[in-house]
Chains A and B, each alone.
Chain A
Amino acid sequence: MNVVEIMTKKLETIEADASLYDAIEKMIDRRIRSLLVKPKDDKDVNGVITVRDIVTKALAKNLDLNKTKVSEITSKPLVCIDKNTDVEYAVNLMSKFNITRVFVNDGREIIGIISLLDVMSAELIKRAKEGHRA
């Protein structure tokens, strides 16, 4: 099974200059756990900010959420895999880097995200279908 078959296409982005408060609002409103951080300029690259980053790097350190910019706690570079990569490889990658989601790219474009929850759901559905017609 390839990652493109089970990835989530819902990708939310945020500007690097936005405040952490904006990021939190967006995550809560859209019910997501990570945001793709846009590059600041042509020389910059995409990054990611997750709920974990906000809790461990900002809330735990009492940073001012309105004054702290997203770029200050963004993780870079992104861990990406090609859309045709096998799911097993993605899981190994997540395990190796101790992360719960990786971005999926088609050439230079990021087209989705795959999380451990997506893998678990897909695996459970596959098992439920086993032994039955396709």
Chain B
Amino acid sequence: MLERVFFGAKKEQKVIERISKHIQILHAAAECFKKAIEKKESEQMYCVADLEREADSIRREIMSMIYEGAFLPYLRSNICRFVEIVEEAFDLLKEAASEFDYIGQGLDKEIEEDCIQIADRNLQMSDMLLISFETLFSKGDLREKTLAIRIYEKQVDEIKVDLVRKMTEREVKSFWHGKILSDFVSHLTRISNVIEDASDYLLIINVSLR
């Protein structure tokens, strides 16, 4: 009965489907990003911007549907915030992709390996975020999914410590090269924090449904 009140109606189902699609696109963008770094092909990064635009239009659609009356009022703000956090992950990914375009093949081999590892964790985390979101409506154990996200995030933190140390040991070619490289690493490593924040929001939504 309650399930129907919370999610069962047509409007709610449509929003859930769109949010699911939104996260799937994040996963696709993270995958495309990882492939581009691995192959050192900055041209391939354009798919990230394309997917971000697609996600942006889905986000607007979700917001409209919610303001048109989907979900009970007390749930709306939390769901909107969750979608906005996922959008922040898109923004960071897009920024990092654009910076990679500038850096091109100028990434040091050791730094590049760490960046690939972080891109891989971001990809795994976006997949786990989708699983977590689906778990919210399937009565599964959401806690164990969010724990997996936290484990990935800690792994990114570990790699970041190492990566920053390596960067400080390298000579900077020019001010702009150094700045763009620093921004690239900063954006790349913040994605995991944002996905973790999104998964925390799922826990909040889950609690508010009880």
Residues on A facing B (Cβ under 8 Å)? 10, 29-31, 121, 124-125, 127-129, 131-132
Contact = CB atoms under 8 A, between A and B. Distances in A.
Contacts of A131: 140
A38 B83 CA distance: 51
A30 B128 contact: no
Give the dominant DSSP class at A's interface: helix
A126 to B, nearest CB: 9
B145 A128 contact: yes
B148 A125 contact: yes
Interface residues of B, number: 16
23 contacts: A10-B158, A29-B165, A30-B161, A30-B165, A31-B158, A31-B161, A121-B151, A121-B155, A124-B144, A124-B147, A124-B151, A125-B124, A125-B128, A125-B148, A125-B151, A125-B152, A127-B144, A128-B131, A128-B145, A128-B147, A129-B148, A132-B131, A132-B134
Interface string B115-137: 00000000010001001001000
Contacts of A125: 124, 128, 148, 151-152
B143 to A, nearest CB: 10
Contacts of B152: 125
